Amino acid sequence: MAMASIAKRKACFLTRNLSNSPSADAFKLSYSLTKFSRRFATSGSEENDVVVIGGGPGGYVAAIKAAQLGLKTTCTEKRGTLGGTCLNVGCIPSKYMQGPKHGDLYRIALVHSSHMFHEAQHSFASHGVKFSSVEVDLPAMMAQKDSRFYPYSRCQWTPLMVGTLVKGKNIIIATGSDVKSLPGIIIDEENCIFYWCFGFAADPKETLVIGAGYIGLEMGSVWARLGSEVTVVEFAPDIVPSMDGEVRKQFQRTLEKQKMKFMLKTKVVGVDTSGNGVKLTVEPASGGDQTTLEADVVLASAGRTPFTAGLGLDRIGVETDKGGRILVNERFATNVSSVYAIGDVIPGPMLAHKAEEDGVACVEFIAGKHGHVDYDKVPGVVYTHPEVALCAKTEEQVKALGVEYRVGKFPFLANSHAKAIDDAEGLVKIIAEKETDKILGVHIMAPNAGELIHEAMLALTYDATSEGISRVCHAHPTMSEALKEAAMATHDKPIHI
Ligand SMILES: Cc1cc2nc3c(=O)[nH]c(=O)nc-3n(C[C@H](O)[C@H](O)[C@H](O)COP(=O)(O)OP(=O)(O)OC[C@H]3O[C@@H](n4cnc5c(N)ncnc54)[C@H](O)[C@@H]3O)c2cc1C
Ligand SMILES: NC(=O)c1ccc[n+]([C@@H]2O[C@H](COP(=O)([O-])OP(=O)(O)OC[C@H]3O[C@@H](n4cnc5c(N)ncnc54)[C@H](O)[C@@H]3O)[C@@H](O)[C@H]2O)c1
């Protein structure tokens, strides 16, 4: 997210809470501006073409795109900084942070640092690099990740008047999502914390993680590599339910090799942080006797919920689903004229890049152009080591559709680059329609799966066949060759296995 460039654009960014939305016709938005009342760039006080509520990846991208399309635009943000959940440390005024930070980069920095430690401990010797001892300097690791981030103070914010009224012909709601609270679980941010992107003062010997979703696995694996005994408690029968079953099984085995333990089909019903460390009360997902687990800390990562508090949606009659997500049509329009919604606050994957795509497409519609987001082609990446990247359909989904299909797989153990760097755990799996050879889904587990998936994304977007991919000349020796070989395996035979 290039925050520096935002200041150069012509969208107006205001920060502070929208407290009231009186009528659907007037679109008068009022703000209770208190301590973070700032903006950069100016658009004057007259009516805007577009007002965006929320400055996360959905909102600020929509605002920039609207300004680029010549629409007079104001983006409002209740925090003191843009970037939303993705760029900031959510609703955690934690002692571990000293200012707004980039949550995703934090995590990626920690994933990388802990991976380096793990490699130094377990792999360097086989490459002829030896140490007498390797240890973690946790404060230095945390300081290193902090040093990676852009100082937001360089975005030129200027103060706004309390009670500023912002008017817009079109309103885009981009208020994102918030942590899902669990009954019986009180977060004290010391022994029981959300997310854990932000580091830890102490080095936990034993760690419990609630939820084997994206956050639980990413952050759980960081602390496992740093030497903590990590147990992940998951309600569902599987980790990351959206993942292809075969890839998921291999992924779970890989995480278990990294000393992560899993308690599946197990529901967390309570946390006790009153003594030293934490006690987690769990029971079988199907009901039954409760047991107690003990650890130094617990990471609560049990999902997110749309955030619409304070918008007064009921007053203007904006429809939501049972989970509180705002319902929109293919143009991102709600049932109320000129009110749109994008990002985590609407149904679909809760991902930053999806929110950005929504923002661009929504604004294109408002400007009388054509926008399009295909939710079947939004890649997901779990940033563990190795990473797992998934796109479009799993084999289970294709089966359920009753489509005849072929599967092509290629293990990184047979890929020269992966072997050479001694990082060959994983595979590429391609699913293609039998009759047309059209690609239906691609799943990659590899150290850099999050990068490799984009070749598959292009193929999926342009309706390529597996034969099409296999006839593209791939440079040697690269990890990408595994995709070519898996494509060969889908419609014919791979060469190197
Ligand atoms: C720990 C963690 C790690 C993640 N990692 C990834 C990742 O690696 N990759 C990925 O793609 N996604 C990731 N996500 C998900 C990603 O952060 C979200 O999908 C994305 O931020 C959604 O963007 P958004 O703009 O819809 O909402 P948000 O980013 O939530 O932004 C909404 C903004 O609206 C503001 N707001 C709310 N109400 C008002 C109001 N009334 N007035 C003014 N402003 C308001 C909020 O303050 C917030 O800044 C992660 C999420 C978490 C929690
Ligand atoms: N790499 C990425 O792109 C990335 C990283 C982090 C987060 N995210 C996004 O953020 C969102 C939130 O992530 P998350 O990991 O918190 O949620 P998630 O929805 O991915 O996983 C939460 C898990 O917690 C389990 N769970 C819920 N209640 C439970 C209970 N009482 N006991 C045991 N298990 C329970 C659920 O079954 C689920 O598997 C995700 O939707 C994801 O899209 C993305």
Tell me if 234 CB under 6 Å of ligand 2.
Answer: yes
| pLDDT number for residue 22 | 30
Go through 36-57 and write b for each residue having 16 or more CB atoms within 10 A of its CB, e for each that does not: bbbbbbebeeeebbbbbbbbbb
Tell me whether the omega of the peptide bond preceding residue 386 falls within 30 degrees of 0, making it cis.
yes
C-beta separation of 418 from 412 below 8 A: yes
| Residue 78 binned pLDDT confidence (cut-offs 50, 70, 90) | confident
| Residue 79 binned pLDDT confidence (cut-offs 50, 70, 90) | confident
**Res 217 pLDDT > 90:** yes
C-beta separation of 196 from 232 below 8 A: no
Tell me if 346 CB under 6 Å of ligand 1.
Answer: no
Residue with the smallest CA separation from ligand 2 atom 8 is: 214
What is the distance in A from the centroid of ligand 1 to the CA of 87?
8
CA dihedral 359, 360, 365, 368 (to 10 degrees): 140
Q: How far is 106 from 144, CA to CA, in rounded Å? A: 10
Q: How far is 152 from 100, CA to CA, in rounded Å? A: 8
**Res 408 pLDDT > 90:** yes
Residue with the smallest CA separation from ligand 1 atom 17 is: 86
**Res 34 pLDDT > 60:** no
Radius of gyration for the chain, computed over Cα atoms and rounded to the nearest angstrom = 24
Render pLDDT for 315-340 as a digit per residue (tens, 0 to 9). Answer: 889 999 999 999 999 999 999 999 99
Closest CA to 83 of 68, 64, 69, 102: 102
3-state secondary structure of 331: coil
154: its two tokens: 């360089």
The number of the ligand nearest the C-alpha atom of 62 reads 1
Tell me if 77 CB under 6 Å of ligand 1.
Answer: yes
Render pLDDT for 84-94 as a digit per residue (tens, 0 to 9). Answer: 876 664 322 22
What is the distance in A from the centroid of ligand 1 to the CA of 309?
14
Residues whose CB is less than 8 angstroms from the CB of residue 282 and which lie 6 or more positions away in sequence, other chains included:
233, 263, 266, 267, 268, 269, 290, 291, 292, 293
Higher-confidence residue of 27 and 278: namely 278
| pLDDT number for residue 88 | 62
CA 346 to chain centre: 15
| pLDDT number for residue 195 | 53
Q: How far is 327 from 322, CA to CA, in rounded Å? A: 10
| pLDDT number for residue 3 | 39
488: its two tokens: 């060969």
Closest CA to 433 of 459, 400, 407, 396: 407
Closest CA to 278 of 187, 217, 179: 187
Render pLDDT for 158-213 as a digit per residue (tens, 0 to 9). Answer: 444 455 667 789 999 999 998 888 877 776 666 666 654 444 556 788 999 999 99
| Residue 35 binned pLDDT confidence (cut-offs 50, 70, 90) | very low
| pLDDT number for residue 148 | 59
Higher-confidence residue of 277 and 358: namely 358
**Res 252 pLDDT > 70:** yes
Within 13 Å and on the Cβ side, how many CA atoms surround 337? Answer: 5
3-state secondary structure of 160: coil
What is the distance in A from the centroid of ligand 1 to the CA of 177?
6
Identity of residue 357 = E
Higher-confidence residue of 412 and 155: namely 412
| pLDDT number for residue 489 | 98
What is the distance in A from the centroid of ligand 2 to the CA of 211?
6
Q: Which of 39-53, 335-349, 385-399, 408-422 has the lowest mean pLDDT?
A: 39-53
| Residue 33 binned pLDDT confidence (cut-offs 50, 70, 90) | very low
Q: Which residue of 195, 215, 242, 280 sits with most ligand 2 atoms within 8 Å of its CB, as the best mutation to test the pocket?
A: 215
| pLDDT number for residue 59 | 94
**Res 440 pLDDT > 90:** yes
**Res 496 pLDDT > 70:** yes
Active site residues: 476
206-210 and 229-233 strand pairing: parallel
| pLDDT number for residue 215 | 86
Closest CA to 347 of 337, 332, 357: 332
H or E, element range at 40: strand 38-40
3-state secondary structure of 257: helix
What is the distance in A from the centroid of ligand 1 to the CA of 42?
25
Tell me if 57 CB under 6 Å of ligand 1.
Answer: yes
**Res 17 pLDDT > 60:** no
| pLDDT number for residue 188 | 66
| Residue 7 binned pLDDT confidence (cut-offs 50, 70, 90) | very low
Q: Which residue of 16, 60, 75, 86 sits with most ligand 1 atoms within 8 Å of its CB, as the best mutation to test the pocket?
A: 86
Residue with the smallest CA separation from ligand 1 atom 20 is: 352
Q: How far is 318 from 315, CA to CA, in rounded Å? A: 8
Name the packing angle between helices 245-257 and 214-225 (round to 10°).
Answer: 30
